[in-house]
Amino acid sequence: MLSIKICECLENQGINLEKKIIEVKTNRGNLFINPMEETESTPKFGFCKHCHLPYLSKDLAKTILHNAVKKKQKEVGCLTGDEIKEMRNKMGLSLRGFGEFLQIPYTNICHWETYNLIQDRATDQYIRIKYSQYLNSHHPQRKRLKKVFMVVIQNVDTSKIFLNKILFYIDFWHFRKFSKSITGTNYIPLQYGPCPENYHEILKEMIDERLIYSEKGHRFRLNVAPNMMEFNVDEIQTIDEITEIAKTDKGKKLFDLSHEEAGFLETPLYQTISYEKYSIFLRIEELLKKD
């Protein structure tokens, strides 16, 4: 634990205002506190003439120490205790809950937030990555995509190889009709056809969040039914149109057709397929007209 020894003399023995540097040892190097430093956040203080320790209250000592730790964290490129606490609050988690999320003892997090410890750079980077992953997985756009995934899984008994093509057509067909995709997802051409960006990552998130579970044959089943209240009538109709086609052969027809789409054939591997350019002429329109 970090602390500053302060004067505990029963009576005021007089104060020296001197440029004496206080050195505090931390788990990440030493802090040097200058009581005469001209900053808004660091109160100036003197030293007791009798015990030569800083003459200030415990609250001020705590403030000075916290400011010094915060400065040290910024110097080494680490998150401050306030920033870690803000992350946790945005996630709506307690110290224990945040510790479970990070798989780090919650007591460590408490020490970081209260400026009693400074995390190492590797741990700091780990916290940033985990938090970024959390934000991505809980982004409104990502949540919409997961719900559409769940509707397709609920209605079409198919494998993940066909599943992504169904999603591709749902978004591109809706863009064709309304100049806006349903999920806002980017699609990229891969060896087996157009695929949502971060496809495997999204499926893993859904499994981790217990929205779905996997079965043999690269198939998935729902753990919970999706709440589609946020989707409008046109969006629901588009989803129904594409899933009805997929139901007939578990999506094989859409799988084959997606390899003939200009967006897949003309877009370089791993580059984003343009909605504006390639939703105008979709081969699936031929199937929909037949129906």
pLDDT at 271 over 90: yes
Alpha carbon distances (Å) from 270 to 59, 143, 267: 56, 23, 8
Element (H, E) at 167: helix 160-178
- Number of helices followed by number of strands (H, E) in the chain: 13, 9
pLDDT digits over 192-221, tens only? 899 999 899 899 999 988 999 999 878 999
Average pLDDT score over residue span 263-270: 95
**Tokens standing for 172?**
């591109």
Q: How high is the pLDDT of residue 267?
A: 97
Q: How high is the pLDDT of residue 6?
A: 72
Using CB atoms within 10 A of its CB, is residue 171 exposed (0-12), middle (13-18) or buried (19+)? buried
Average pLDDT score over residue span 50-63: 75
Average pLDDT score over residue span 228-237: 96
Residue partners of 193: CB distance under 8 A and separation at least 6: 164, 165, 168, 255, 258, 259, 264
Helix (H, G, I), strand (E, B) or coil at 4: coil
pLDDT digits over 246-261, tens only? 998 988 999 999 999 9
Q: Domains in the chain, ordered, with CATH?
A: 15-75 (no CATH), 81-136 (1.10.260), 140-290 (no CATH)
Q: How high is the pLDDT of residue 61?
A: 73
* 3 Cα distance to chain centroid: 34
Percent of the chain with pLDDT over 70: 86
Percent of the chain with pLDDT over 90: 54
pLDDT at 88 over 90: yes
More confident residue, 59 or 125: 125
> Rounded mean pLDDT of the chain?
86
Q: How high is the pLDDT of residue 38?
A: 47
User: Binning pLDDT at 50, 70 and 90, where does residue 190 land?
Assistant: very high
* 269 Cα distance to chain centroid: 26
**Tokens standing for 247?**
């139901």
Q: How high is the pLDDT of residue 57?
A: 73
pLDDT digits over 143-178, tens only? 999 999 999 999 999 988 899 999 999 999 999 999
CA-CA distance, 26 to 253, in Å (whole number)? 64
pLDDT at 287 over 60: yes
More confident residue, 175 or 26: 175
Q: How high is the pLDDT of residue 154?
A: 94
pLDDT digits over 97-130, tens only? 999 999 999 999 998 998 878 888 899 999 999 9
Average pLDDT score over residue span 236-245: 95
Closest Cα to residue 152, out of 255, 251, 233? 251
